[in-house]
Each structure stands twice: as C-alpha cells, then as structure tokens.
Chain A
C-alpha cells in the first residue's frame, strides 16, 4: 500500500530564515505530487504540483519554491521566510492529475516568528 511521509511535523522559524520541508511517497511510482497550505480556519490552497522529476508548476506567486529531485520526493523551500508564511503545509499524491483522488501526508505546522 502507498504511504506518504512529511517532516518535520512542527517547525518554528524566525523571519528571514530559510525553509526546507520534505515529502516522500512509498508504494507507488511516478505519482503526481502537490504542496498545499492551509491557513487557520481556511480551506487548502494549492501552491505547487509536479507530474514528474524536475517538473514543477506554481499556482500562486510567492517567496516559496518547490523541487522534485527524485520520483517520489517533493521539497518545499524558501530562502527567506515571511510572517505570512505561517500555516499548515500538506503534501499530497495522486495517480493521475485531474482524474483521481489525492491522498495527504500528515502535514507540517510552520510558525514564523
């Protein structure tokens, strides 16, 4: 069966510091991968998706970036965090973009101070 991992589970970082969140998927190959952010009391906002290694599409302009160095690895990064980057970050995978349900990892709660 498929499993999706995210780490760290929680993170407190000062403004201006860099960020790296990692997501890995087991039990499937060539998954579609997604990064979402959920602000308090809000729905999920799609940040990035990837259909393959090195292929990243951004949904919203921001100071975050994503990379997919391996088939089942997805990384969310920032060079300098802003207060507004605080939130709950979720990674998800699906079999085929636009046709199948997505399955979510446990999430990372980021607090920028």
Chain B
C-alpha cells in the first residue's frame, strides 16, 4: 500500500529561522514528487522533483529528492510570517498521493 509520511506534523519558528521539512514515501511506479503550499484555501504548486540529487530552488525555498532512500526535503531559509502555511508533499505515480502535511507557523 502506498504510504507518505511528513515530519514534523507541526513546527513553530521565529522570523529569520531556517526550517527543514521532511517527506518519506513508499509508492509503486514512482515518477516524481511534488511540493505544495496551502494557506487558507487551495494548495499552490512549489516544486516538482524527478531526479535524485538535483536541487530545485525558488527564492528562499529549495528542495531535493533522494530516490534511493525514498525521501525529499523542503528547506526554507530566512523564514517570514508569510511562509506560515501547511506544506504538502505528494509523490506521483498515475496520481498524487498526499501526505498529511507539515503545519509551519512563523512568529514575528
């Protein structure tokens, strides 16, 4: 059975801190892994990772995939209050299999 585990489930930091969010997965017919940010409503797409060891970067956010060890991490440096959200990872075979998410709270 497919399994996606995100950790930690919740995290509270102060502005300026760096955070690392983890996602481990067991998915048959794995093709890629996606990260989403969900604030109040719809998740918004952050990254799609297909190859191991290649970091994807967008501003203060970066992510990397390890297909051998079956995990991915999402890093956020110099966090801001606007980074407060639920971060979802979703391995993709034919469909996305979402984890429960990490709820990040950034305090001023």
Residues of A at the B interface (CB closer than 8 Å) are 34, 41-46, 49, 59, 90, 97-99, 101-107
Contacts and interface: CB of A to CB of B under 8 A. Distances in A.
A98 B42 contact: no
Among A42, A43, A46, A106, the one with the most B-chain Cβ atoms within 10 Å of its Cβ is A43
A33 B44 CA distance: 16
Given A99-B31, A101-B34, A106 B41 contact: yes
B94 interface: yes
Interface stretch (B61-69, B71-79, B95-103): B95-103
Nearest to A90: B42
B42 A106 contact: yes
B13 interface: no
Contacts of A46: 95-96
A102 B31 CA distance: 14
Among A45, A98, A101, A103, the one with the most B-chain Cβ atoms within 10 Å of its Cβ is A101
Interface residues of B, number: 21
B16 interface: no
A36 B92 CA distance: 15
A49 B92 CA distance: 14
Given A49-B95, A98-B93, A98-B94, A42 B100 contact: yes
A44 B42 CA distance: 11
B98 A98 contact: no
A90 B34 CA distance: 17
A50 to B, nearest CB: 12
A107 B41 contact: yes
Contacts of B21: none
Contact of B101 (A43, A45, A99, A103): A43
B45 A43 contact: no
A59 B48 CA distance: 23
Among B31, B32, B44, B98, the one with the most A-chain Cβ atoms within 10 Å of its Cβ is B98
Contacts of B42: 90, 104-107
Contacts of B44: 104
